[in-house]
A and B are shown apart, each in its own frame.
Chain A
Amino acid sequence: AQSVTQPDIHITVSEGASLELRCNYSYGATPYLFWYVQSPGQGLQLLLKYFSGDTLVQGIKGFEAEFKRSQSSFNLRKPSVHWSDAAEYFCAVVPNTGTASKLTFGTGTRLQVTL
């Protein structure tokens, strides 16, 4: 079955530490891949996306993600976390089937940042 998985429900890191949030997908063909961030009670903000090309993608707020086809993964990274990065992070995919886009979200990872 097609799915997108975020194995970590909750992660806590210290401010200034590095961060990696995991995302794995299970689709026949490589889907289009996205990371969104949601602050409490707010809408979703697009951090970055991968459609094709360079497998290391740069996004906003100092985030980057690396697409690894062999591992069916699209992990999000940040070298130094700021307290304002505390939020819910969603990995999302759209199947690469040529049909109208239907975004499927992972279950999310809640990031807590300690000072």
Chain B
Amino acid sequence: DTEVTQTPKHLVMGMTNKKSLKCEQHMGHRAMYWYKQKAKKPPELMFVYSYEKLSINESVPSRFSPECPNSSLLNLHLHALQPEDSALYLCASSQERPGADTQYFGPGTRLTVL
């Protein structure tokens, strides 16, 4: 089973709202990732968690706050977003083997910021 689930599928929020995106995997993977994808562009890495610790933050604005409560779950907390943050947010997971590692992606959350 190579399934990564993400909720919600769609989210519309105002610039003053606080919301969260959720990602879950039950493959025993120890690395989890958040990507942002704008229309007609490839995904851009935002954060990487390795063994439940934040290992990479690609200079993401603080209005995005990741959290990894356990090895199966990854959250992305959103606060005071801007309209330009509207995008598809993808979660991925992998076994965390240096180099020869394969990332499996979830279906994404389509975020619209009004």
Number of interface residues of A (CB under 8 A): 26
Verify if A51 is at the interface (C-beta below 8 Å from B): yes
Q: Are B88 and A101 in contact (CB under 8 A)?
A: no
Q: Are B43 and A44 in contact (CB under 8 A)?
A: yes
Contact with A along B36-56 (1 / 0, CB 8 A): 000011110100101000011
Q: Are A95 and B105 in contact (CB under 8 A)?
A: no
| A100: chain B residues within 8 A (beta carbon) | 31, 48, 50, 55-56, 96, 98, 101
B→A interface (CB under 8 Å): 2, 4, 6, 31, 40-43, 45, 48, 50, 55-56, 88, 90, 92, 94, 96-108, 110
CB B6 to nearest CB in A, in angstroms, measures 8
| B90: chain A residues within 8 A (beta carbon) | 43-44
Contact with B along A93-115 (1 / 0, CB 8 A): 01111111111011110000000
| B41: chain A residues within 8 A (beta carbon) | 107-108
Verify if A42 is at the interface (C-beta below 8 Å from B): yes
**Nearest neighbor of B2 in chain A, beta-carbon distance:** A46
| A25: chain B residues within 8 A (beta carbon) | none
| B55: chain A residues within 8 A (beta carbon) | 100
Q: Are A44 and B105 in contact (CB under 8 A)?
A: yes
Q: Are A97 and B99 in contact (CB under 8 A)?
A: yes
| A99: chain B residues within 8 A (beta carbon) | 98-99
